A and B are shown apart, each in its own frame.
Chain A
Amino acid sequence: MNESRRKPLKASDKLVFLLSLVPYLLEQQVVDVPDAAAHFGVTDDEIRDAVRLIATSGLPGATGTYQPNDLFDIDWDAFEDDDVIVIVHHVAIDDAPRLSAREAAALIAGLQYLSALPENAGSASLGALMQKLTAGASAAPTRLAVAESESDASLAAIRAAVADGRQLEFDYRNAVGVAGRRRVDPLRILSQDADWYLQAYCHTREDVRNFRVDRMSDLVVSDLPIGEHAETVVPDTLFQGSDSDFDVVVDALPEALPLLADYLADSKSEEVDGRLRVTLRLAHVHGLKRLVAGLPGLVTVVSPAEARAAVAGWATAGLAGYADDEASGH
């Protein structure tokens, strides 16, 4: 039943905002609208609307008529003339609200994921912070947890290089299978689930590239400082399109579709015999054969023929490693 009732999420978020803004304004005593907006990450107008609502809210009171003394009040002159908020009378609430079980759990699990970061590894302060969140929840946090994963040993060195602004050198074998020594200006460490990437300006390619941390070896932090990158655009996504991309039509079981989300060329899909026919866009056939072989039975390439052949060839070459088993009649 709760599934079908779509919660008016906006109203509940606004309620939380109102309940949080009141104690903040009381604590600050006098605060400029733009400062409050910056603190909460909302627009000036959102702050002004909320303040107007708060200033006319309160308790029904003994008579049920919302008499002035039962309402919040602000210094209206300061508000209207100078954009300054001063609460001069408040009712009912004055302190920060507790977190819900779900809210606390979401932050705790997020922190657990961050424990893979080198500076947090085995950190006691992270544990203390999680305990504080637990204490600040109105009920035991939802039993949601993220196992601490062993972070790649290279990550600490990369992190240090990012923080100090120093160049890195490493051997790298890219997705196409070409290996070589790279010298880069590290810009940002990006992760997706269990995979870690370095976004860096590559001196060899003279452009920003994403490097999988687990494909790096013989990593050395250089003494050379990184170049000036104030103008450099570091993309927010791992998968960027390029002119050399190619499209592949595949049939996928519906449950496999989320696993292909990064590669979908468009949102179109057509049902064919209980499977969904979709178009994927990939940088290279090397990526495709690994992707499809890793989703055995879930995804089948329909066209082009070369792509089908590449996947068949990859799997067949893999099978050849087990030729003895095949021969012995399994």
Chain B
Amino acid sequence: MNEQKHILSILVENKPGVLSRIVGLFSGRGYNIESLCVAETMDPLVSRITLVTMADTPVVEQIVKQLHKLINVIKVYELTGSSYVQREMSLIKIQAKPEYRAEILRIVDIFRCKVVDVGQEHYTLEVTGDEGKMTAILNLLKPIGIKEIAKTGIIALFRESNGGLKDKD
């Protein structure tokens, strides 16, 4: 199987139970969800779901068609294979013994992230970026001692052909 990561951007009606229909479709048909982000768009009647799944080409084709079939789904875009921007945010709580504090702040500087909470024994960092950046910073922080981590999962949008970034919806 040539399983590959696919990012789907799904516009749905902002109604109760819609997310459950989508998640139920994935579990019921044996598709997987790597990450999932949901929030309202500019139009409060519409929500955008950004969903990452691992699947081969015929399966992802089925997934897109099955999603379209749900009455509350307005549009499904597959971003993988076209030009898009993606971001993920993590909150990383890290052990911050005095001897490591300078090192942690150096990493924060290099990766252009922020310290959002400081304690006697820890820092909480806010990191935003694509997957590559996330992996890189985690690899650097692991030896220092990560206590907890919370990730948003990927959100993504098409790049406009003129290079601009707009959210039409």
Co-assembled chains A and B: no
Footprint of B on A, CB under 8 Å? none
